[in-house]
Amino acid sequence: MKAFSSLREIKNQISAGQTSCRDLVVYYLQNIESNRHLGAFLEVYAQDALQRAEQIDQKIQAGSAGRLAGAVIGIKDVFCYADHPLQCASQILDGFRSQFTATAIQRLLEEDAIIIGRQNCDEFAMGSSCENSSFGPVRNALDPELVPGGSSGGSAVAVQADMCLISIGSDTGGSVRQPAAFCGIKGLKPSYSRISRHGLAAYASSFDCVGILAKNIEDIALCLEIMAGADEYDSTVSSTEVPRYSQMLDFDRKSKIVYIEETVNSDKLQPEVKELFFEQLDWLRTQGHEIKSIHIPLLNYILPVYYILTTAEASSNLARYDGVRYGFRAKQNTHANKSVNQLIEMYKKSRSEGFGAEVKRRILLGTFVLSADYYDAYYTKAQKIRRLLKDETDKILNDNDFIVMPTTPTTAFKIGAHAQDPVQMYLEDLYTVQANVVGIPAISVPIGKDKAGMPIGFQIMTGIFKEAELLAFSNYLLENK
C-alpha cells in the first residue's frame, strides 16, 4: 500500500473499494514495526485498532460512518484514554491506567477515528528534543542521529515516517510546532482554551494547549473543528462558536504581515533558516501582500518569563504525584520507624526516583520562584511582563493580519548535543513561546531544507480564535509556493 497524504485521499480509496479501514490499520502497524528503532511509540493498540477498524468498515458500508472514518491517529502519552495506560513518558506513573477518556480524544472517537497507540515524548512534556523520556529518545526519521524536536517528538515522527495519518500532541511552549518544523510536517497550536484540556495531563495549566500534527492543512482543520468547543468538564474552555474550519480553506485576499526585528537579528539564528525565511517574505511581497518589520523590545524577556511561569505551575501541578494513591512508589527501608518521618521519606524517595532529571530541575526552579522570599522578585514580575507582552501582541494584530517568524532558530541537531547545557536547550524555544505566553494560535509549515537536507519551518501567528484565517492562509502559502 502506498503512503497516503490526506484523509480525503483515503476516503476516495475506500469509496472506490481499493482499501478498507482494516487494510489501513494493518499497513500502519507494519510501518510501526519496521520503524521501532525511531522510538516513536511507547505502546501500540494493535488488537483494539483492528477490531475498531472492522466495526467502522461496517458503518461505512451502512452509510453511517463519522467524519473521521479512515483516519488512523496516534496520541501523545499525555492524554487519558479509558482503560489504557498513561505515563507521560515517566516512571512516576508506572502501572497507571486511565479511568476516562480526554474530551479531545473522545470527540475524535465519536467521529470514528482509530487510535493506534500512545506516542513517546519528553517526560511530562518538558523538553525541546524528545531526549528526556524515561523510555529513551525519539529519533528523526530523516536522520536517526538527530533529534525530532520536542516535546511531541514521537507524535511528529509517527506522521513523518507514515506510522499514522495524524497525531494529537500538546503544546505548552512550542511542543507541536518545533517538532513539526524539525520533521518537515505541519503543526498547529490553537488559541488557548479553544480545545478542552480535560484529560490532558497538566504541565503548566495557563499555557497548555492540545495540538495537531499532520501532512496537510485540511486534516488539521477537520480535527480542530471536531475537538474544539465548550466542555462541561473544563471551566477554562471557551464557548466561542466553532467554525467549520475544513470548509473555510480558500484564501483570496491581500494581507498585512509583520515580522519582528528581534527574532531575525538574533545571533542564535542559523543562516540557512534566516535566508529561507526572507525568501518566503520576498515571495509573499511579489504576490501583493504588505510586509513590514516591527520591534518588540520586551521580546528579550520572553524566555525568562516563560520558564519562570511554567516551572511555577509545574511545581504545583506535579505535587499530586506522591507515590501514595497510584503510580510508582519507592521501596521502603523496613527498619525505619513507622512514623510521619517514614511517610515523608517515602514521598522523597518516590519523587526522586520516579521523576527524571529535567522534570526535577523544573519542579525545583518552580518551587524556588514561588517561595516567599522570591515570589515578588520573580513570579509577580513575570506575570506583569506577560500581560505587557499580551497587550503589545494584541495591539500589533489589531492593525495587521499575521505575525511571522522562523519556527526554530536552527534545524534538527544531534542527539546529546545540548545534554550538558539546559540553557542552550531552552533557547530552542526562542520563537515558539510567544504564542503560548499570550494565548494566540500559531502554526508551523515547512518551507524548505538546509544544506544537510533537514527541514526548515515557517511560523505564522494571528489573533485569538482566528484559526480559520490562519489555516486558510497556511493552505494558500503551501499550495502556491
* Grid cell for residue 378: 520573580
Q: Give me the catalytic one of 76, 186, 189, 215.
A: 76
| Spatial distance between the Cα atoms of 305 and 313, rounded to a whole number of angstroms | 12
Say whether 20 is catalytic.
no
Q: Give me the catalytic one of 6, 20, 133, 151.
A: 151
Say whether 76 is catalytic.
yes
Q: Give me the catalytic one of 175, 191, 196, 238.
A: 175
| Spatial distance between the Cα atoms of 5 and 314, rounded to a whole number of angstroms | 37
Task: Please check whether residue 456 is in contact with residue 478, taking contact to mean a CB–CB distance below 8 angstroms.
Answer: no
Task: Please check whether residue 366 is in contact with residue 204, taking contact to mean a CB–CB distance below 8 angstroms.
Answer: no
Q: What is the spatial order of strands in the sheet that 290-294 belongs to?
A: 41-44, 114-119, 72-76, 166-171, 209-214, 186-189, 442-449, 455-461, 402-406, 256-260, 290-294
For 479, counting Cβ atoms within 10 Å of its Cβ (0-12 exposed, 13-18 middle, 19+ buried), the class is: exposed
Say whether 339 is catalytic.
no
- Could you report how far apart the first and last alpha carbons of the chain are, in Å? 29
| Spatial distance between the Cα atoms of 91 and 86, rounded to a whole number of angstroms | 11
Helix (H) or strand (E) holding 346: helix 340-354
Phi and psi at 112, nearest 5°, equal 75, 30
Active site residues: 76, 151, 175
